[in-house]
């Protein structure tokens, strides 16, 4: 690979970029909200764990979804992924902290999961049957395994990417491709079971085959929307203007549209099949989500999580303009939270709509801290993969200007 050594400093986060102030604000919001949440946790531990679970799953989607897209990119390639790669790597490097943030949930197991109560196991034959899989020890071991897999994948992806930047050559490229292939399978597999463990098992009697895939699609969409927002803040700035150009945002817009359709496809598949079967062991899950106020939530999801973004993203102009695309992505990030809330909370409050101030403060705490951490991860690294063979011509051009 005959290329002149690029000036790394030109590709670092510029001093005046507003991500710096975003980080400061996020950190302050995060710390203040964390204090509030801690206060709430003392006074109302049950509500705290519920709110914390939703907020946690949302931040996990940002970190783990980044890893998922990163691995997918290493399999299929494409410039859309090359421009996001460094941000995705930064996102996936938050996974060790996310593993740490999972620990409170282990303490909340009794508040969250019926199957963790010995008397429930003793009196309910279905729970007794499942206790082979759903028990506190195995649950903890599995969570440890998931995080081990995810953190290993994220670490390797970042390490080998750095090696590529140092001029690692084809051997490193090959290694990254292998990581992508194996990693995509591992990610989909582990996340499927994580979704069953952490969320589906709240309704311990209920089951759905596609549930894991709905989570995977949701995580990828969340991370994609977030990364579109981040990337849009660099559009039109030297030395990125040639690289983060309208064509790339067009690609990202198409991908976001595709992920929205995948999410809708999975969600519709599950709904239609369960509605049609109309079995007493399956429909309660939907009944508790489509009554007592939750039904408006459900309708809002159809309109704002699918119909509107679908129609808006059909427009070529919206996709090619970083600002308008980022606006759509911001809206999607809000509706991703709504979707998670609708997936989790009705299990605790079937048929009765509920919203607690802790829901907001837990989300602000974890979200604020996550964003601060994410920006921190961006800071020490170049913003573009300088060793990426696919970007080589544009990078050389960008460095000259």
Partner 1 sequence: MDKHSAPGPQEPNAMIGPGHSFNSVTDKISSIVLREGAPRGWWIGFGIGFVLTNMMLVSLIYLFARGTGIWGVNIPVGWGFAIINFVWWIGIGHAGTLISAILLLLRQEWRTSINRFAEAMTLFAVACAGIFPVIHTGRPWLAYWLFPYPNTMGLWPNFRSPLIWDVFAVSTYASVSLLFWYVGLIPDMATLRDRTVKIIPKRIYGVLSLGWRGSVRHWHRYETAYLLLAGLSTPLVVSVHTIVSFDFAVSITPGWHATIFPPYFVAGAVFAGFAMVLTIAIPLRRVYELQDFVTAQHLDYMARVMLATGLIVGYGYLTEAFMAWYSANPYETFMMSNRMTGPYAPVYWLLITCNILSIQALWFEKVRATPIGLFIVAMFVNVGMWLERFIIVATSLHRDFLPSSWAMYAGTVWDWSLFIGTLGFFVSLLFLFIRFLPMISIFEMKTMVPEAEVREDLL
Contact positions with partner 1 (CB under 8 A) in 193-212: 196, 205, 207-212
Alpha-carbon distance of 269 to 232, in angstroms, equals 33
Interface pick for partner 1 out of 2, 4, 42, 279 (rule CB under 8 A): 279
Alpha-carbon distance of 252 to 246, in angstroms, equals 10
Interface pick for partner 1 out of 192, 222, 321, 377 (rule CB under 8 A): 192
Instruction: Kindly tell me which of 33 and 191 has the beta carbon lying closer to partner 1.
Output: 191
Residue 117 as a binder of partner 1 (CB under 8 A): the answer is no
Q: Which stretch binds partner 1 (CB under 8 A): 7-15, 174-182, 331-339, 366-374?
A: 174-182
Alpha helices in 93-242 (DSSP H): 95-107, 109-112, 118-123, 125-130, 136-165, 170-198, 211-232
If binding means CB under 8 A, how many residues of this protein chain bind partner 1? 43
Alpha-carbon distance of 312 to 324, in angstroms, equals 10
Q: What is the DSSP letter of 169?
A: -
Binding mask 52-81 for partner 1 (x = CB under 8 A): ----------------------x-xxx---
CA distances from 74 to 67, 174, 186, 264 (A): 11, 10, 14, 25
- Phi/psi region, residue 236 (left: phi>0; alpha: psi -120 to 50; beta: rest), is left
Instruction: Kindly tell me which of 43 and 278 has the beta carbon lying closer to partner 1.
Output: 278
Interface pick for partner 1 out of 213, 345, 363, 366 (rule CB under 8 A): 213
Q: Which stretch binds partner 1 (CB under 8 A): 136-144, 182-190, 229-237, 339-347?
A: 182-190
- The DSSP code sequence of 218-274 is HHHHHHHHHHHHHHHTTTT-TTTTTTS-HHHHHHHHHHHHHHHHHHHHHHHHHHHHH
Instruction: Kindly tell me which of 345 and 391 has the beta carbon lying closer to partner 1.
Output: 391
Give yes or no for a contact between 340 and 218, defined as CB atoms under 8 angstroms apart: yes
Residue 304 as a binder of partner 1 (CB under 8 A): the answer is no
Provide the binding-site residues for partner 1, judged by CB under 8 A: 74, 76-78, 82, 125-126, 129-130, 133, 170, 173-174, 176-177, 185, 188-189, 192, 196, 205, 207-213, 265-266, 269-270, 272-274, 276-279, 281, 388-390
């Amino acid at each position: 690979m005959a290329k002149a050594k690029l000036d790394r400093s030109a590709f670092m986060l510029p001093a005046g970029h507003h991500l710096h102030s975003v980080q400061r604000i996020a950190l302050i919001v995060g710390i203040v909200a964390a204090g509030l949440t801690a206060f709430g946790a003392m006074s109302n531990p049950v509500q705290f764990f519920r709110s914390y679970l939703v907020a946690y799953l949302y931040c996990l989607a940002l970190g783990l979804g980044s890893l998922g897209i990163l691995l997918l990119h290493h399999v299929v390639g494409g410039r859309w992924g090359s421009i996001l790669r460094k941000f995705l790597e930064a996102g996936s490097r938050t996974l060790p902290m996310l593993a740490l943030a999972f620990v409170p949930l282990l303490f909340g197991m009794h508040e969250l999961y019926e199957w963790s109560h010995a008397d429930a196991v003793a009196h309910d034959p279905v729970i007794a049957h499942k206790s082979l899989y759903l028990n506190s020890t195995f649950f903890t071991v599995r969570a440890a395994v998931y995080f081990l897999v995810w953190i290993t994948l994220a670490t390797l992806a970042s390490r080998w990417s750095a090696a590529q930047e140092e001029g690692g050559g084809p051997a490193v490229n090959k290694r990254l491709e292998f990581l992508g292939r194996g990693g995509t399978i591992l990610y989909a597999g582990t996340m499927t079971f994580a979704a069953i463990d952490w969320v589906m098992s709240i309704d311990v009697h209920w089951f759905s085959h596609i549930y894991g895939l709905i989570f995977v699609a949701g995580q990828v969409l969340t991370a994609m929307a977030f990364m579109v927002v981040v990337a849009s803040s660099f559009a039109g700035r030297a030395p990125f203007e040639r690289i983060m150009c309208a064509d790339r945002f067009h690609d990202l817009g198409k991908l976001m549209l595709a992920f929205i359709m995948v999410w809708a496809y999975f969600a519709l598949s599950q709904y239609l099949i369960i509605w049609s079967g109309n079995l007493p062991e399956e429909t309660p899950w939907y009944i508790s989500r489509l009554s007592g106020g939750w039904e408006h939530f459900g309708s809002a999801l159809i309109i704002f999580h699918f119909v509107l973004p679908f129609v808006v993203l059909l427009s070529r102009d919206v996709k090619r303009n970083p600002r308008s695309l980022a606006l759509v992505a911001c809206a999607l990030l809000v509706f991703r939270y709504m979707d998670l809330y609708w997936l989790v909370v009705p299990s605790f409050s079937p048929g009765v709509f509920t919203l607690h101030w802790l829901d907001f403060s837990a989300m602000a705490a974890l979200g604020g801290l996550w964003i601060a951490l994410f920006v921190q991860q961006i800071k020490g690294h170049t913003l573009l993969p300088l060793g990426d063979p696919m970007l080589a011509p544009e990078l050389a051009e960008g460095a000259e200007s």
